[in-house]
Amino acid sequence: MDTVTGKNKNKKLSHAEISQNRANLEGLSELKRMPVVVLLNSIRSAYNVGSVFRTSDGAMIEKLYLCGYTTSPENKDVLKTALGSDKSIPWEYVKEAEGVISSYKDRGYKIVALELTDTSVPYYKISSDDFPFLLIIGNEITGVSQNLLDMCDFSIEIPQFGIKQSLNVAVAYGIALFEFRKNWDLKN
Amino acid sequence: MDTVTGKNKNKKLSHAEISQNRANLEGLSELKRMPVVVLLNSIRSAYNVGSVFRTSDGAMIEKLYLCGYTTSPENKDVLKTALGSDKSIPWEYVKEAEGVISSYKDRGYKIVALELTDTSVPYYKISSDDFPFLLIIGNEITGVSQNLLDMCDFSIEIPQFGIKQSLNVAVAYGIALFEFRKNWDLKN
């Protein structure tokens, strides 16, 4: 990238300037949502659920399902972290993830888990042919359970290069989701 | 992506199986680090600092600088979130960010801010020609300050599509960093 030069190089935008280019709640119906539905299964941390809402707003997904013992967006710590994105992302609590997965499978969505498995592929291999799909995110410690993995078409992983075995779940979700959005926008 | 079929499709890996393919502290010196140095300027949340450490380990950066009033990795909440990655990522506390930036500029590193500015470009435009570089991450609320932006070669942003103005700083960092790592690996 060339170095930016001139008087106004890298001039920070104000909140007002940024807001001009953002949609608001009234304009929600006009936003182009990426055809991705996300299912959180038993995410315990309110901070992680709130962060997932905020990231989902950034990439504008279709819908978020909260299953198992996932902390509710009515929890005040979720609301604090979500910063209002629980209003822009349609969400629903359904205890049993299996029913949600089956209904989307019937509607022609591919079913994808963000989980390291013996057949998982790098997250950036998802192509425009894979939309629409439902993405399953599992618990912070135990990941996506095997019974849900058995319902998946494939699983994706984020290749890692350090000494740890995993990323924070909300960070991993962001990495994967924005890769999908980038690839989807390039094709649409 | 083709649906995975067969008896062992999407079989979850155990922690032991994952560990087999990960480096450990003894093997650290053999890991191939991406030529990226990161500078956190006045990141207040211990959770965010810990998460940045964990993500930095995942992508294996060269070094992490903590400047301004960034919460120290000696804080127990940072350690809890970092999960040991403060051992694999060299880090240093330096109060004044300007000196660190100048020294890397002198060594031929490009200086890049993750910040929305009037000249910021999408994060995925960084190419293999831009390595090595120093990436500046700013405060959760106020972002990268203008005096540091004035020292940057260019700034990068993460295009967003919802009603909010920003992502969580640790999530935004993850999205950008893993894009860099992917592009760097493809060229090396």
**pLDDT for res A140:** 93
Among A23-32, A50-59, B132-141, which stretch is predicted with the lowest mean pLDDT?
A: A23-32
Q: To the nearest whole percent, how much of chain B has pLDDT over 90? A: 66
Domain B33-187: homologous superfamily in CATH: SPOUT methyltransferase, trefoil knot domain (3.40.1280.10)
Q: Which tokens is B167 given?
A: 């992502």
pLDDT digits (tens, 9 = 90+) for B51-64: 999 999 999 999 99
The more confident residue out of A26 and B44 is B44
In this complex, the residue of A60, A153, A160 whose CB is nearest that of residue B3 is: A153
Statement: residue B8 has pLDDT above 70: no
Non-local (6+) Cβ contacts of A108 within 8 A are: A132
Please state the domain extents for chain A.
Answer: 34-187
Positive or negative, the Cα torsion across B19, B168, A187, A105? positive
Tally A–B CB contacts below 8 A.
237
Q: Which residue of A has its CA nearest to B122?
A: A182
- Between the alpha carbon of residue B157 and those of residues A22, B112, B137, the distances in Å are 14, 11, 11
Statement: residue B50 has pLDDT above 80: yes
Tell me if A85 and B163 make a contact (CB, 8 A cut-off).
Answer: yes
**pLDDT for res B164:** 80
Nearest-CA distance A183 → chain B (Å)? 11
Statement: residue B18 has pLDDT above 90: no
Quick check: A143 and B1 in contact, CB under 8 A? no
Distance of alpha carbon B75 from alpha carbon B79, whole angstroms? 6
Q: Which tokens is B176 given?
A: 């950008």
- By DSSP bridging, strand B133-137 and strand B110-114 are parallel
Give me the mean pLDDT over the A37-49 stretch: 96
Residue A163 phi, psi (nearest 5): -100, -10
Give me the mean pLDDT over the A92-112 stretch: 97
The fold for domain A34-187 equals Alpha/beta knot (3.40.1280)
pLDDT digits (tens, 9 = 90+) for B64-113: 999 999 998 888 888 888 888 888 999 999 999 999 999 999 999 999 99
Nearest-CA distance B95 → chain A (Å)? 23
Which residues on chain B are in Cβ contact (under 8 Å) with A89? 162
**pLDDT for res B167:** 93
Tell me if B10 and A163 make a contact (CB, 8 A cut-off).
Answer: no
- Between the alpha carbon of residue A17 and those of residues A58, B2, B172, the distances in Å are 17, 44, 20
N-to-C CA span, chain B: 26
- Can you tell me whether residue B139 is helix, strand or coil? strand
Tell me if A125 and B150 make a contact (CB, 8 A cut-off).
Answer: no
**pLDDT for res A7:** 61
Positive or negative, the Cα torsion across B33, B34, B39, B40? negative
Statement: residue A15 has pLDDT above 70: yes
Quick check: A59 and A178 in contact, CB under 8 A? yes
Tell me if B164 and A22 make a contact (CB, 8 A cut-off).
Answer: yes
**pLDDT for res B34:** 95
Statement: residue A8 has pLDDT above 80: no
Q: Give the number of other CB atoms < 10 A from CB of residue B145.
A: 18
- Can you tell me whether residue A124 is helix, strand or coil? helix
The residue type of A93 is Y
Mutate to test the interface with B, among A142, A164, A181 (most CBs of B within 10 A): A164
Mutate to test the interface with A, among B56, B87, B119, B164 (most CBs of A within 10 A): B164
Give me the mean pLDDT over the A13-38 stretch: 82
